[in-house]
Each structure stands twice: as structure tokens, then as C-alpha cells.
Amino acid sequence: MDCINAKFVSQKISKTRWRPVSSASLHQPDIFATGSWDNEDNKVSIWSIGENGVSNMDDEFEGDPQLLCEYKHNGDVLDLQFLDQERIVTASSTGAVTMFRHHQNSQTLSVAQLWDRAHHYPCDDAPCTGLVCNSPEIVTVGEDGRIILLRADHKGILRTIENADSSTIHAVTFLRTTEVLTVNSFGQLKLWDFRQQGNEPSQILSLTGNRVPLHCVDRHPNQQHIVATGGQDGMLFLWDVRQGTVPLSLMEAHSAEMWEVHFHPSNTDHLFTCSEDGSLLHWESSTNSSVPSFLQGGRNTSAMSRSAVAPGEGNQSLTSGWLSGDSSKGHLETTHMLPSQTLSVNSVDVLDQCLVCGTDGEAIYINRQVPV
């Protein structure tokens, strides 16, 4: 725990994301963005942990994040993703989707594009609950059950899938370049293909028995048929979208809602989850194979970060250790990443050996020596 820096920021942090690092760069990630929620004035902020940030004041510890710039955000920040190294897209509780530009010479933020009330009810705002970027395309989902396709250089809405869901859609991820996967409050995963006209999903997977709301989803970076989800009961579910309609493995993870789940973008035997219960877990899957994990598609050294790289199109037929995952059989090791139980850990992001998370305790935690 000695390698964790805590920075108290006087605002509840809803989202944290590293700025993508080019594969040609030998540098560790050093810039990240945060969004806040449930504050009088919410903000999008850009922080640095590198030497090129704001000069250290006497009362700052070395390695503390330094605030580079911030911008007032209308409504709670319900999701935040880097579109590329300069542009950040946010989802708001007002239903708006905003694209900010980070001007690195002047260290300022400006609004580059605003899709106001992208998500809405007939007479009221509907929160935009999640988004995913594959530049220049942006896909957003909302409490209104809509899926919206936007383009960074286009002021209008390219496509709306009306009534995609009769319940709240909580999160979305790209499965392939033209396909997205959504999770909803009925415990369902739905696969959507933008090449198809109409408002029907191409596939539906769901939890059997109790319809536990699913809050988060992430796709395996190299084996796009493998998907992880987490929900209201704190369980971690692993799915193979090629097989059947139910999860292939489930693991007890947290004692309250799981807010985010992320595969490590390059060392895919590692996965991270965070929860309302105040914990942040690092999961490591060990396959029972003599073949090293990097020969099983476990590494992708040419990738940028998850949010700024096109979804993989490779045909990976190799078995993943995640699908046989069972923490009771020793296939999975879990490690608590935070020193003590705090208020809700709302967001986590990991890139290379660097991890950042944000909490309702108005703190940002940084770990630059994650063992992956």
C-alpha cells in the first residue's frame, strides 16, 4: 500500500480516466481526467502526475496529482471517456453529451461540441448514463432506453435506436467496430449491430432467476467474445457471447453495487472492479495451460488505451482463463488495492502499471506500481 498516493479534492469523484498513451511512447501515463457528481458545481478536471505538471508547492508530496485545468459541468458527470489525446466526452445527468478539448499549450479546457438533451423524456430530461468512443464515433445510452450514435465532427445525431430498452440502459461497450453491447436494469446484455436497420437487438443474454440490474460492462481487449459485467448484487459475471444466453462463470466480488469493471488493456490476465462497498479489487486469472498467457492473446503491445483504440477484429479461438474462472478453485487471485474501506469507489482506470480511482470520500487514489 506504500505506493498509493491519496489526493483530497473537495468534490465527489464519479469518473476517472487516463489519457491514452501512444504505443510508440515509452512514457508511463501521466495525465488523467476526472468528473464529479452530487456537488453544488460539478467539474471536469485534468490532472498531471508527471514532471511537466504544475510546479510542486511546499505542501505537496512528490507524486501528488497536480490540477492542470478544469471546466464547470452542467449536471452530474455520469460517464467520461477520452476520444483521443486532446478530446474528452462526458455524459450528463441532464441528458446532454459534451465533447471538451484540452489545449495542452495553454492548459485550458473548452467545449468543442454539445449535444444538448440527447437523451430525454417527452417533458423532462433523461440522464445519459453511459458512453463509449471509437474515434470519430461516440455511442451513448440513457435512462430513456435510447441508444444514440454520434460523430465527433458532426453536430447532429447520426442514428437513434428508439425504445432499445423499456428499462434503464446503464452501460455500453464496443464489441466490434459496428457492434455494441449494452447492459440494463433487467439483468440483460443486448447486442446491437449498426449495420442492421430497425430497433431490435441481434442477440439477448440474461441472468436467470432474479433480474439483478447490471451496472457495468467491459469487453476482453483481444478476445471480443469474452465480456465481464457487474451489477447491483456485487457479483462478477463472465460471458461468452458466442455460446448460450447465460453467464459462463460468476464470482462473489463485492458486498454492494459494482460500479465499474475493466480488463487491463494489455495484460488481460488482470481485471479490476470497484464498488459502493468502498473496495477496489485486482483480479488475476491464471490459466491451467503450459502455454504462456501472452501466446494465448493475453498481450497486445500495439494498443493504445481501451477508450481510444478501435475494437479488435482478430479471430481469437483460444480459451481464456476467465471463462473457467472460479476463485474457490485457485484459478483467480484477488487483491484489495485500497488501504481501508472508504466510501463508495465509483470509478477505476488502469493503463500500463498506473491505476487511478475516484471516491465519494472526495479523494483520488493513484498507484503507479500495479503488479501486472
Mean pLDDT, residues 25-52 taken together: 90
Q: Is the pLDDT of residue 114 over 80?
A: yes
Q: Is the pLDDT of residue 2 over 70?
A: no
Residue 224 CA to residue 303 CA, distance in Å, equals: 14
Element (H, E) at 218: strand 214-219
State residue 297's pLDDT score.
36
Torsion over CA: 277, 356, 152, 101 (sign): positive
Residue 163 CA to residue 180 CA, distance in Å, equals: 16
CATH fold of 4-21+28-367 reads Methylamine Dehydrogenase; Chain H (2.130.10)
Q: If we measure between CA atoms, which residue out of 107, 88, 84 comes closest to residue 98?
A: 88
Position 26 confidence tier, pLDDT thresholds 50, 70, 90: confident
State residue 34's pLDDT score.
98
Q: If we measure between CA atoms, which residue out of 355, 157, 360 comes closest to residue 267?
A: 355
Residue 166 CA to residue 144 CA, distance in Å, equals: 8
Instruction: Give, in order, the Cα–Cα distances in Å from 356 to each of 18, 131, 336.
Output: 8, 19, 14
State residue 142's pLDDT score.
98
DSSP-based three-state secondary structure for 294 = helix
Do the Cβ atoms of 202 and 185 come closer than 8 Å? Answer: no
Query: Which has the minimum average pLDDT: 12-26, 254-268, 319-333?
Result: 319-333
State residue 140's pLDDT score.
98
- pLDDT tens-digit profile of 337-372? 998 777 999 999 999 999 999 999 999 999 999 999
Mean pLDDT, residues 315-341 taken together: 64
DSSP-based three-state secondary structure for 262 = strand
For the chain, give the number of residues. Answer: 372
Mean pLDDT, residues 162-187 taken together: 96
- pLDDT tens-digit profile of 136-173? 999 999 999 999 999 999 999 999 999 999 999 999 99
Residue 321 CA to residue 298 CA, distance in Å, equals: 10
State residue 1's pLDDT score.
54
Residue 363 CA to residue 19 CA, distance in Å, equals: 19
- pLDDT tens-digit profile of 299-310? 222 223 333 333
Mean pLDDT, residues 161-190 taken together: 96
Average pLDDT, the chain: 86
| Grid coordinates of 157 | 445525431
Q: Which residue has the higher pLDDT, 42 or 54?
A: 42
Q: Is the pLDDT of residue 287 over 70?
A: no
Query: Which has the minimum average pLDDT: 139-148, 264-273, 322-331?
Result: 322-331
Mean pLDDT, residues 195-216 taken together: 91
Where along the chain do its domains lie?
A: 4-21+28-367
Q: Which residue has the higher pLDDT, 292 or 18?
A: 18
Position 4 confidence tier, pLDDT thresholds 50, 70, 90: confident
Position 25 confidence tier, pLDDT thresholds 50, 70, 90: confident
Do the Cβ atoms of 189 and 177 come closer than 8 Å? Answer: no
